[in-house]
Structure 1
């Protein structure tokens, strides 16, 4: 055991500092000045934000992202809710402005159905191809062990010279 690892094990404050450092990375990015006074509206805003993609981070929702664009989107969602929009109207407004890419779970409307169906369709095609390959391989003639008499004489002639 090295000196550094012994220090970590013997000194709990180092361990606590490490745990807090890991937890700080998971902290929610919503700033206190963004939080709405009405708890019901804030809950709706959080629920909507979970379904909207941060356009900078791309695989993070806007509630968890620290990007400035995500902050702008969080404020936009809260402003629309304060104006009286329904959840669907807020999402539609954001999609109209930024495109369907902003949704973490895209709809199946339009050409998106092909993207949703591509995985299962390709799986079925691969399974059918595997079945055809296995059946053809099972019905293929088995290789003969050894050489026929003609092949053996021919081989002897070649080897002799």
Structure 2
């Protein structure tokens, strides 16, 4: 299988990685760059545990080929560096086991950035893209609302 040399800007740092044509962005981030915050869950786009931000938008990295990310600005949970939504998750107890939390935080961070005036319907719509088996979504919604209220 053909290999590709990619230039990835991840969390503000440039990286050169070699990947196969079939390698997903999730594989490249975790196995080539050692950034393990994006989690492998379903590996078919259903759960959202692998969500990262691509050019400011949430992307399930198990669905995106690494070659599609060449030259794009990527942010992983490791790159948020104390974003308000991270603190809001802690303050509102918006997690239990924590496995899905990085994906939820990345999705919510994008929501807040893309829709700073999001209403309850918009929040619920965006949260549907991620799955948590441990807790309800009330605390996560509360965390998002608390950040939006501060903006």
> TM-score, structure 1 length as denominator?
0.28
Bigger fraction of residues in helix: 1
Bigger fraction of residues in strand: 2
> TM-score, structure 2 length as denominator?
0.30
